[in-house]
Chain A
Amino acid sequence: MYLKIILFNILFFTLVGLQAQENKKSFKQSLSSSLVVETDVSIEFKSGGLQKTEWLLKPEFSYRLSKNSRFVFKGQMYTELNDHLEAAVPKQETVSKFSKRLFIGDRANLEVREFYFYTNFRKKLRLTIGKQQIVWGETDGLKLLDVVNPQNFREFILDDFEDSRIPLWSVKAEFDLKNIGVQFVWVPDNTYHITQDFEAPYFTKSLFQSPPEGMTIRFDKTIKPKRFIADSDVGLKLSTFTKGWDLSLNYLYYYDDLPVFYSHLELSETNAPLVAIRPKFERQHLIGGTFNTVLGSSTFRGEIAYILDQNFSSIDSNAPLGVETSNNFKSALGIDYIKGENVISFQVFSDIITEHISAYNRDTFETNTSLQLSREFMNDNLKAEVLWVHNANHGDGFVRPQLSYWMNTNTQLFLGSSIFYGNGNQLFGQFSDRSRISLGMRWGI
């Protein structure tokens, strides 16, 4: 393994060296920097208490080695004054040692969000090497193909994806074959979703089966991939623009970012029955694609993802280790209608389990919809928007109205609310008590 890392470093620094020779600018001319400060205070409607008091400092540096290459560093200092969303110092068991956050006490942490070298090598091959975010797909709000990077569910899906997506150490190579763009991704970073503990406000209890009443549970250590090459994810995206259509084909061979919870009954040392749960990350294949085209004032877009051998927790008592496997077909169709300062965006998501299995807490065919309305006023100074996501099977969902206002060139204010509704056992309904009002500010220099 160390030999591979050494070889990788030699290749990397040779590339950097070749590019650096072209740089004729001074250090000051080559360096650009910025700082964005964000704060967000949210109060829960039900308890009246603070759900979060968050401050984020996001410094960014870009050093240009030549016209075609640069280093980019994006750091983050995150502070949650209440220590509520991720209480104390989390164990970060699902995060690789290269991607862990550095906690300073219980309330703050430092993180290298991104640190990569980008080069357009001989204007033929575009390479991005380092910690980065790789984003696929066309949908908003819910993810189908946007699975290359895992996510921190500290705030379920309310956090901006830019903040909740976990950047990974990876290589992205892009080149063109005639009018087809080829993107190859290699992700050796064994980091997966960060889900929250049982006591956290956004613990997703709907994903976990409760054991029979009175039964003891024993959680065994999660079996997590560790090998640098053998356990890395690889992906390929082909994209083109032809006759007014944007098209892409995607393939990813990856570890599902959520572990499979294998369970079985056994006897404890006192001969009492207990449920032993052994979480393990499993590999799967994803094949998918996207399209979009414009007709008049509307953009039509779509996305499909076909996942082979997805594992589901089962309610069938005969299911081996409480898990059943099926292929999983996901699709989304959307339309964006723009007229003046008004935008209407509607999406329909479907999720189908193709085999006859008894998956826990979901139907074989699930449908979600989303509707987003927005309007800008006063030369884009003020924006009013609302997002409504609804699950048609279970009748749960959430609504997020928001106002944003540019106070001056660098300062933007936000006032919004997130309102969950529906059955407490369902994905969105489980957070009904977490509905909140938020006030925030973003400032950058």
Chain B
Amino acid sequence: MKNYLIMGLLAIGLLSPTSSKAQTLPTGKSIADKTYAKDEGISVRRKLTMELKDKRGKIRIRETTSIRKYFGEEKRMAIYYLTPKSVKGTAFLTFDYPDASLDDDQWLYMPALRKTRRISAANRGDYFLGTDLTYEEIKLETRISRDDYTYKTIGTERIDGQQCYVLEGTPINDKIAKELGYSKVKLWVDASIWMLRKADSWDVAGNHLKTTAIKEIKKVQGIWTYHLIAVKNHKTAHETLFRISDIDYQTSLNDDAFTKEALVNGL
């Protein structure tokens, strides 16, 4: 009897294949939550190399060592410049609080001044140290924001051979859109390991702004880890490659490595 009912509903078009697909796709909110639930280890130490390429092909390289540690749900991260040698020792520290209503706290140590300068984290849409990722994107890594966007899951696609959910996100209001610098994002989230694999974003005027590809995702010490991020800014034709190497999740990091005094002493 039940089968006849389903066949009948299909026949009159009330249960179309499209609506069936919509029901099986997870919501954007649940996907965002899963990207946060992904294991990132308590602490990690890694080398981050940034290759900045302008539209004329000129390449500048910045090598850094970064450390990150969770203090409960609060995430603290420090990045130390290794090259160029003339700015070696420049260091950036951020406290990322789980309460979305709280701005992060950030400090920048400038060896030329030998001073640690407190910097506002309110402008999270500003570009991070001349690269094509914003401070907000650096902070999120391969997660997608839980609070800034209203998402719609529009389907599935394969990226680098992996099944991904495709989401469209629009900022929840104009203020957030202005803060982030985006009017829309399109995100491809890996359906099995819940990591962002690709993102497209549009500026507040609606122009296609950036494409971000997260590649070479491999397990390191049992944790899914990205090794390359390629970002292209379509407006400026500037590109940044982030290469991540020497990753160690088992490193022992003292709590006092994440203080502004520690920035002065270096790693």
Residues of chain A touching chain B, judged by Cβ–Cβ distance below 8 Å, are 34-36, 60, 118, 120, 123, 126, 128, 133, 135, 137-138, 140, 160-162, 165, 174, 176, 181, 183, 239, 241, 244, 246, 292-294, 296-299, 301, 336, 338-341, 376, 378-381, 406, 408-410, 412, 442-445
A380 touches B86 (CB 8 A): no
Contact B114 A162 (CB under 8 A): yes
Contact residue among A35, A60, A339, A379 (Cβ-Cβ distance under 8 Å from B123): A339
Q: Tell me if A183 and B117 are in contact (CB < 8 A).
A: no
Minimum C-beta distance from A244 to chain B (A): 7
A162 to B236, alpha carbons, bound, how many Å? 35
| Contact in complex: B261, A181 (CB < 8 Å) | yes
Q: List 6 A-B contacts (CB under 8 A).
A: A120-B254, A123-B256, A126-B261, A409-B62, A410-B83, A443-B86
B261 touches A174 (CB 8 A): yes
A140 to B117, CA, bound (A): 10
Is B118 within 8 A of A246, CB to CB?
Answer: yes
Q: How far is the CA of A297 from the CA of B113 in the complex (A)?
A: 22
Contact among B121, B256, B260, B265 for A118, CB-based, below 8 A: B265
Chain B, range 189-248, C-beta contacts under 8 Å to A: 236, 238
A409 touches B105 (CB 8 A): no
Which residues between 108 and 124 of chain B lie within 8 Å of chain A, taking CB atoms? 111-115, 117-123
The complex places the Cα of A301 from the Cα of B107 at a distance, in Å, of 13
A140's partner among B113, B122, B123, B126 (CB-CB below 8 A) is B113
User: At the interface, yes or no: B88 with Cβ under 8 Å from chain A?
Assistant: yes
Say yes or no for B14: interface residue by CB 8 A criterion.
no
**Footprint of A on B, CB under 8 Å?**
52, 54, 58-62, 83-86, 88, 103, 105, 111-115, 117-123, 126-127, 129-132, 236, 238, 254, 256, 259-261, 265
Whether A412 pairs with B83 at a CB distance below 8 angstroms is: no
Which secondary structure characterizes the binding site on chain A? strand
> With A and B bound together, what is the CA distance between A339 and B179 in angstroms?
11
For B121, what are the chain A residues with a Cβ–Cβ distance below 8 Å? 294
Q: How far is the CB of B267 from chain A (nearest CB, A)?
A: 10
Residues of B within 8 A of A299 (CB): 117-120
Closest-CB distance, B136 to chain A (whole angstroms): 14
B58 partner residues in chain A, CB cutoff 8 A: 408
- For B120, the chain A residues whose CB sits under 8 A away are 294, 296-299, 336, 338
The residue in chain B whose Cβ has the minimal distance to the Cβ of A134 is: B114
How far apart are B59's CB and chain A's nearest CB, in angstroms?
Answer: 7
Other than A297-B120, A379-B52, give 18 A-B pairs with Cβ distance below 8 A: A35-B85, A126-B265, A135-B114, A135-B115, A140-B113, A162-B113, A165-B114, A181-B259, A181-B261, A246-B260, A292-B118, A298-B120, A299-B120, A336-B117, A379-B127, A379-B236, A409-B61, A412-B84
Cβ-defined contact, A410 with B118, below 8 A: no
Across the interface, which residues of B come within 8 angstroms of A137, CB to CB?
115
Residues of A within 8 A of B131 (CB): 379
A378 touches B54 (CB 8 A): yes
Q: Which residue of A lies closest to B131 (CB)?
A: A379
A380 and B123 contact, Cβ closer than 8 Å, known pairs A161-B114, A294-B103, A336-B117:
no
| Given A174-B261, A296-B122, A409-B59, A34 and B85 contact (CB-CB distance below 8 Å) | yes
How long is the Cα–Cα vector from A60 to B105 in the complex, in angstroms?
Answer: 32
CA A241 to CA B105, docked complex, whole Å? 10
- Would you list the 3 A-B pairs with minimal beta carbon distance, nearest first? A380-B130, A444-B85, A444-B86
Cβ contact of A381, chosen from B60, B127, B256, cutoff 8 A: B60
Nearest residue, chain A, Cβ from B116: A246
Q: How far is the CB of B51 from chain A (nearest CB, A)?
A: 9
| Chain B residues closer than 8 Å to A444, beta-carbon distance | 83-86, 88
Residues of B with C-beta under 8 A to A294: 103, 105, 118-122
A126: which B residues are within 8 A, CB to CB?
A: 256, 261, 265
Report whether B123 and A410 are in contact in the complex, using a CB–CB cutoff of 8 Å: no
**Cα–Cα, bound, A241→B83 (Å):** 29
Closest-by-CB residue of A relative to B111 is A162
Shortest C-beta distance, A293 to chain B (Å), equals 8
- Measured between beta carbons, the chain A residues less than 8 angstroms from B265 are 118, 120, 126, 128
Cross-chain contact A34 with B259 (CB below 8 angstroms): no
Is B261 a contact partner of A239 (Cβ separation < 8 A)?
yes
Instruction: Please pick, from A34, A123, A160, the residue contacting B254 in the complex, using a CB distance under 8 A.
Output: A123
Residues in A whose Cβ lies below 8 Å from that of B261: 126, 174, 181, 183, 239
Shortest CB-to-CB span from B163 to chain A, Å, is: 35
Nearest CB on B from A77, distance (A) = 16
**Bound CA span A133–B52, Å:** 33
Bound state CA distance, A176 and B258, in angstroms? 13
Taking a contact as CB atoms under 8 Å apart, the answer to whether B60 and A406 are in contact is: yes
Q: Nearest Cβ in chain B — how far from A402, in angstroms?
A: 13
> Which residues of B lie under 8 Å from residue A293 when comparing CB positions?
118
With the chains together, A308 CA to B236 CA distance in Å? 57
Known: A128-B265, A161-B113, A380-B130. A442 touches B119 (CB 8 A): no
